[in-house]
Amino acid sequence: MATCDQGRGSLGYQTELIRMCRETFERCLVPSTVLDNMNLDPHTKERILAHQRLERQRAVGLLLEAVLARPEEHVSMFIYALKEAGFEHFTDILEDGKGPQDRNRTSAKYEMLILWLQGDLKNKIIPTEIIDDLRPILSDRDYELIRNFETERSVHDACQELFLAIPRKTPRWASYFLDALYNAYGLQLLGKIHPDLTLGVDEDEDSDGGEDGSDNDSQPETESVSSLISSLDLDTWEDNDQPNRQFDPQGHRGIARYSRDQLLALRPRSTLPHIISADIPRECFLEVDMPRHHRELVSTTIAELRETDEEEQTLRKRIQPSQHSYAVSSSDSSEDAGSQDGDQERDVISSPEELEMRQYQLELAASALAGRNSIIFAPTGSGKTMVAIYIAKCILQKERGKVIFLEPTVALVNQTYDVVRRYLGDKYKVMKLRGIDDDSVNLHILLPYNDIAVMTPMILENHLKQEKIECLSGLCRLLVLDECHHTRKGEAYNQIMIRYLRENEDGAQHLPQIVGLTAALGVEKASTGDEALNNVMRLCANLCPQSPIISTVQQNRKELDRLVPFAEEQTIPLTENKNSPAKKVIEDAMARIQDMLPSFHEMDNEIIGKCLREEPEDFGSQLYNQWTVHLMDATTKINTEGNVEQTEMIRKLSSIAEHLNKYNVALTLNDLVRVHDVIDYIRNELSIERGIMHTDCEQQLQNEANKVKKDLMRCELMRRKERVNENPRLNQLADILVGLMEDAPDFRAIIFAQTRATCKALADWLNNDVHVPDVLKDLNASFFTGAHASEQIGGMTQTQQDAVLAGFRSGRIGLMVATSVGNEGIDIPDCNVIVPYNHTGNEITTLQVRGRSRKAGGRTVNLADDKVQERNCRNLVKEYLMKQAVDTITQMPYDRVSKLIRLFQQEVLATAEISERERQIDARQSTNVQYRVICKHCRTELTTGDTMRVINGSQYVVVDKTFTSKITNHVPRQMDNQLKFDNVIMAGAISCRNCHKPLGSRILVSGVVFNTLGIKNVLFLIDGTKEPQKYKQWSKVPFRPKPMTTEDQQEYNRP
């Protein structure tokens, strides 16, 4: 590289410098911060951004390749963009001509210390206390993001984002960080980094003067950490392996040296294995020349940690840091000791909370503590998670091993992870894995380096299915299944436990101990005591329990009843919404659309003719909804290939049935929410893009939808004028909520609704409607729905879910409107009011919804119409049958119960074996099956079976390059909030170019866009069969597409 000043502005010099700094760019640069100021073509920018969302370093590599491919066009613009982004890692080097290896050597030493200890720092600092001092090295986006993470999610998440952000702009970030720590915490700086580093320092010691009798207090201690760092001569440090600290009384220079074993003992437990095993210099000295309360920063000799053969747990127990006395200089005055007292209230170092178990909890844990598989059955709010944590702690204290907590939802993963870390995080490494995490596919890599893992069951099942994890034997010491009533046919829990039963049957050693947790075992369709007993026994058999089969509270029942709050419950009938003008508008439209249906005499097909003869008239009923679905299904069973007239007729029938189905849903929605929300639903579900060609029937249906929206707008204007025109059920709900608030000054409530659309509508009504009292608007209501649906249909991203739960826990959100996703296990101790708004489910749902009221004196008020009340009464009967079955099982002799369970287990294994053999036979038979995939609506041929592939075992994509000419892409404006799971990012939708009906999704996998087909949107024409085939799940399709191979992907990416 040229070094003369004359050459620094040349293109060759700048290009070579960019190449030399590649490692720096890959380590620190975020491509999106510079792309807006660069003239790269849009396709390249999109590709770089796509990679950034999955693997930032790969995105940086693509950016540099694009810049260096055409340096005369892009190098100068790249440098300009770096300057605009404040990326000093490169601009400093460009200005002074020194290579990256020559610069910031002092800061690098402190950078290593901070990175080494960042796992502990994440648990011991509050970002908002130091973030203002870090503004010079943070972008505005990072600054706001960190503040929002702390407010909406957690301090730990904010710390994690902070450590990702601070190295991005400048190589001197470590100096800024130490300054910020000092300004925020003063004397507590050492304790923040590691409590053991302050051992042996007499902080109350007074010194009258130095050795020469001079009074050094007259010299103000004004030097910042960063200025003192810059004065160090790192090259003059000497090697010293003595495991004690030595201070130079003349220079105030504190050199603390630790042995290899001591460093291992002090190593932060949260440090990731790939950091510990990285190439660390054999001797890395870290030293500070500063006032006494700073000089305790460690100057260390770090041995090659990766060469150690001793287990970290053993080292922690065996090694104690040295506690020598230290000579101090006369500059150390009593002010230092006094300043610590003054900062006591700001100390954020928190010791882990102690597990204080109640007697009934110890009773629940007794069977598991004896080493037996156990099902813990106890009411909501009784602390079953705490019991499981206590069991895990006792097991880990006795022996080596891993503990895995399985949670059915992501929200529960986050909640349990936080609780486990609170009680066990000081001694054990705890990790969480969710489908949205990049590492969800790396459990087999991460588990050996952690003691406790919290995850969704599908992650473990996928690793077992893909043989990344060979078997359950030896995987962990304890496997906890929270909400274990999900261990039934078809669910991930059950798939895992079938593997467990197989291995147990084969005599496998070292299988994990199983502990299931539930407040409601459920009885499914049972209607008698014997049926309920049979159902509960089958569930128990799936969980492979040992004596006692079910752990319940018997001896300490009085303590349980006294300490676990039970909400007062009442049911209030919902007011009828009889005189709704919007209802008449929709029903009139449905009548006109039904008149468009052909007569059943005109249909040659017997199935469709039968559907048309059985046409119901009770709009808005469940029966009518079922009829529209049956009609749509009937149209899929006719092969119209080669018959244009019949194809058009089937398309017409399908369109009419779909519109009638949507209007029927709008009627049910109108019963519960505003006209405004019904209009939004119709607009979202029935609007068609302008300029698109339709059939005459489809154009007529669209005109009808436009007329309905206009008529409903008139109804909405009437509603806004007078409260008497409001939906009477909403007025009833508002009055009840106001009354409950008057009875409970500390009001914190959850409204449960049946659908996502209802939840969003109710939250918007509570916050914005003109007729809602201000006292309700002040609650800042927010909806809470599932994370497996797109935002367009009312779903939420995981970040949005976390933000709502954090706001509800803190009180910033006083009212949450949730679907059934909020009824399972979500623990909000201050929640004292539950209002199911015409909401129902099975007996498990009823029990769990009631249990969301956790505060003493809580209330549950069911607002329900006659049908929902009937369903709830049936659920109460089933709840009684369930408890009766549990009592029967606990009183039965164990030998009798174990025989029954053994029989059920053999039946489960036999059924599973038959299913597996059938699957293998189908797979062999379907290997050479030829089939075509067609659009369900217009019957356009989309692709053939030989161009279908499977990614991650669940994403069915088309690799046929001509497929793109048959579809229309719908790309979201913002990609940040798109769903993400198993290394797959949802990147929009696709529709049929011929009929414009939905076909599937666009996904990003490793930065490459693929098109997937939704199984409900397509039909299969199999060679040798007459009727098109329809399937509800890809897993049920008898012919499986091939897995995506590297060769397939290379061919797909080839232009």
Express each pLDDT in 404-417 by its tens digit. Answer: 999 998 889 988 99
Q: Is pLDDT of 506 > 80? A: yes
The C-alpha atoms of residue 237 and residue 287 are separated, in whole angstroms, by 9
pLDDT tens-place string over residues 956-965? 999 988 898 9
- Residues 513-530 have a mean pLDDT of 91
Query: Strand 815-818 and strand 749-752: pairing?
Result: parallel
Which 8-state DSSP code applies to residue 431? E
pLDDT tens-place string over residues 109-118? 455 555 555 5
Single-letter amino acid, residue 363? E
DSSP codes of every residue in 233-294: -GGG------SSEEEETTTTEEEE---HHHHHHHS-TT--HHHHTS---S-----EES-HHH
pTM here is: 0.63
- Residues 692-704 have a mean pLDDT of 83
**514, 373 Cβ separation under 8 angstroms:** yes
Q: Is pLDDT of 223 > 70? A: no
The C-alpha atoms of residue 827 and residue 411 are separated, in whole angstroms, by 10
User: How many other CB atoms sit within 10 Å of the CB of residue 700?
Assistant: 17
- The residues with which 823 forms a beta bridge, in sequence order, are none
* Mean pLDDT, all residues of the chain: 76
3-state SS record for 773-838: CHHHHCCCCEEECCCCCCHHHCCCCHHHHHHHHHHHHHCCCCEEEECHHHCCCCCCCCCCEEEEEC
- Residues 254-270 have a mean pLDDT of 38
Which residues, other chains included, contact 194 with Cβ-Cβ below 8 Å and sequence gap of 6+?
A: 117, 120, 266, 268
Q: Which residue has the higher pLDDT, 487 or 844?
A: 487
Which residues, other chains included, contact 4 with Cβ-Cβ below 8 Å and sequence gap of 6+?
A: none
Q: How many helical (H) and strand (E) elements, i.e. helices and strands, does the chain have?
A: 41, 27
Q: Is pLDDT of 589 > 90? A: yes
- Residues 94-121 have a mean pLDDT of 50
**107, 177 Cβ separation under 8 angstroms:** no
Q: Which residue has the higher pLDDT, 49 or 624?
A: 624
pLDDT for 788 equals: 61
- The residues with which 70 forms a beta bridge, in sequence order, are none
- Residues 655-662 have a mean pLDDT of 92
| CB-based burial label for 783 (10 Å; 0-12, 13-18, 19+) | buried
Give the Å distances, CA to CA, from 135 to 166, 185, 433, 568, 575.
10, 18, 32, 51, 56
The C-alpha atoms of residue 869 and residue 986 are separated, in whole angstroms, by 39
Peptide bond into 220 cis (omega under 30): no
pLDDT for 88 equals: 67
Residue 40, token pair as written in the block: 């790269």
pLDDT-derived band of residue 219, with 50, 70 and 90 as boundaries? very low
- Residues 786-796 have a mean pLDDT of 63
- Percent of the chain clearing pLDDT 90 (strictly above): 30
Give alpha helix (H) positions in 866-998: 866-891, 894-925
pLDDT for 93 equals: 61
Smallest CA-to-CA distance from 802 within 826, 778, 777 is with 826
The C-alpha atoms of residue 562 and residue 567 are separated, in whole angstroms, by 13
pLDDT tens-place string over residues 527-556? 899 999 999 999 999 999 888 889 999 999
Which of 62-71, 165-174, 997-1006 is the least confident region?
A: 165-174
Which of 596-600, 900-904, 947-951 is the least confident region?
A: 596-600
Q: Is pLDDT of 289 > 70? A: no
Give alpha helix (H) positions in 687-773: 696-721, 728-743, 756-768
Smallest CA-to-CA distance from 868 within 842, 847, 835, 839 is with 839
The C-alpha atoms of residue 560 and residue 539 are separated, in whole angstroms, by 25
The C-alpha atoms of residue 803 and residue 811 are separated, in whole angstroms, by 12
User: How many other CB atoms sit within 10 Å of the CB of residue 233?
Assistant: 9
Q: Is pLDDT of 101 > 60? A: no
The C-alpha atoms of residue 108 and residue 100 are separated, in whole angstroms, by 11
Q: Is pLDDT of 619 > 70? A: yes
Residue 137, token pair as written in the block: 């090295």
pLDDT-derived band of residue 323, with 50, 70 and 90 as boundaries? very low
Distance from chain centroid for Cα 981: 9
Using DSSP, state whether 642 is helix, strand or coil. coil
Give the Å distances, CA to CA, from 879 to 519, 734, 842.
11, 30, 9
Q: Is pLDDT of 750 > 80? A: yes
Q: Which residue has the higher pLDDT, 1006 or 481?
A: 481
